[in-house]
A and B are shown apart, each in its own frame.
Chain A
Amino acid sequence: MKQKLCLIALCGAALASSACATVRPEQRQLLADPVMQFNGEDPDARAKEHVLEFREGSNGRGSVKGGGCGCN
């Protein structure tokens, strides 16, 4: 439980400090590249999730579309 609370606190601190993180638009070339995108919407990722729905007891494995590039 202590580890979980630490993790939640870490996430909260990261969120609070995110306003300080600034990547300028001209610096986003790599972030906008498909290799840096979180690929929850990709067909192969959806297919794997579809299979694991009935081969694992857990859920929540999907990621949301995005890459921090402001291009979605």
Chain B
Amino acid sequence: MKRLLERRRRHGVPGLGLLALALALVSLLGGRARAQVLDLDLGTNVYLEPSKTSNLTVINPSVGVTGHIAGVVSIDAHYEADIVSGATESIKGGRLATVDIVSSATKFDDVRHVASGGVAITRENTNLAVSYSYGTESDYRSQAFAVTAGTNFFQKNTEIVLSYARGFDTVCTTAFAQSDAPSVRSPLDASDGCFTKDDDRAERDVSLDNFQAGWTQAWTPVLATQLVLTGALQHGFLENPYRAVVIAPAGDQALENHPDNRGRAAMALRARLYVRPIQVAFSAGARYYLDTWDMFGQNYELAAERYLFEGLRIQARGSYYTQTAALFYSDDYTGGEPVDGPNGQYWTGDRELSALHNLQYGGRLVYAKRATRDARFLGIFLGLTATAAFDVIDTSLDRFTWGGKDPDDTLGMLLSLGLKSEF
């Protein structure tokens, strides 16, 4: 979605077939509380950045169906879309640049489609899952395979989960030759002609390897912790194909130029504690991130959740995140060291590679109802969970400007609605 947010166009939202199939299967169920055979997940997320310049809106509907066979095998299929509209700044310059970046922002709209499916096998203490996903948009295609294995031991007090995912992505760019100097490469101005035989377009590969290990531990009847280690290797075209960066005092621009490789590692430690006297579950967590582009990120989060009455629970949450800039980041590549100017052989206009910090706060309401041992409720449901969440993300960019002006799109709001039905 990151690239999608920059600029493109596409239309059409399939996925209703998946929903129709699920509803047809549900209609075959009787009213008795037999074993769970089907889950249906529906969701919609809406993300807004109420900015005069970009006014970004992302709508993310999704539908997922999981079928359970004999309590051992489950098969799932999932579809989601990112429907994006807004405006984007396709040129990056700093306070010394002579380009009016805000006025150069252009409107765009586009849709990304992602379909995925998988199979999971669960035995008494172990589980194994494999999945595949395919995503397409006008200028980007992605495929990923993932395998996850988990087990628990020490009387189920300890749970270990290992996963690996491999992604094979393709991004559309202008048809520059690999031997062309980065300073003469041009950005895309539109996605027209992408993934066709158009002589002005080319396809570049991106490979992604993701590793994750999770250890969840129950320490007491009211305390559990989780340690998650994550590693990622990215190789290929890691730039935004649309973004140009002003790289010379005379105003010369070139497609942004990132290293072809990036190694990333993160460690997250979380704890949950239930305080009986006030009947509140508290959660605290910290996450640390490092990568080979010399970025270091830290995140600290707190949450509290309790039941308002049976079935309905409320959570309040907040977190603080801060990161340093990539080694080669500069707000303006045209000036002199050290404040503004080139930082090595690469250049970028990506705000997420700049030093920034943000404050996230919000909450959610969850209502869950389960069938009794004897009968489904409303004739067909074994379980029903409805979720409504709202979060605010308030970002401060420490040294990222649009030609010297502070971006006005640093406040984001996320509304998330979900409905999970178990049949």
Contact = CB atoms under 8 A, between A and B. Distances in A.
B41 interface: yes
Interface string B220-231: 111011111010
A42 B157 contact: no
**Residues of B contacting A: mostly:** strand
Contacts of B156: 25, 28, 68-70
A58 B289 contact: yes
A28 B272 contact: no
A56 B323 contact: yes
Interface stretch (B20-28, B197-205, B332-340, B386-394): B386-394
Q: Which of A14, A51, A52, A69 has the most CB of B within 10 A?
A: A51
A24 interface: yes
Contact of A57 (B157, B228, B352, B412): B352
Contacts of B265: 60
A12 B152 CA distance: 18
Contacts of B364: 44
B47 interface: yes
**Contact size range, A:** 35 or more
Interface of B: 1-2, 5, 41, 43, 45, 47, 58, 60, 150, 152, 154-159, 161, 163, 212, 214-222, 224-228, 230, 232, 264-270, 272, 274, 281, 287, 289, 291, 295, 297, 299, 305-307, 313, 315, 321, 323, 326, 352-354, 356, 358, 360, 364, 366, 368, 387, 389, 391, 393, 395, 412, 414, 416, 418, 420
Given A43-B420, A54-B1, A54-B5, 5 more contacts: A28-B218, A47-B43, A58-B291, A61-B287, A64-B216
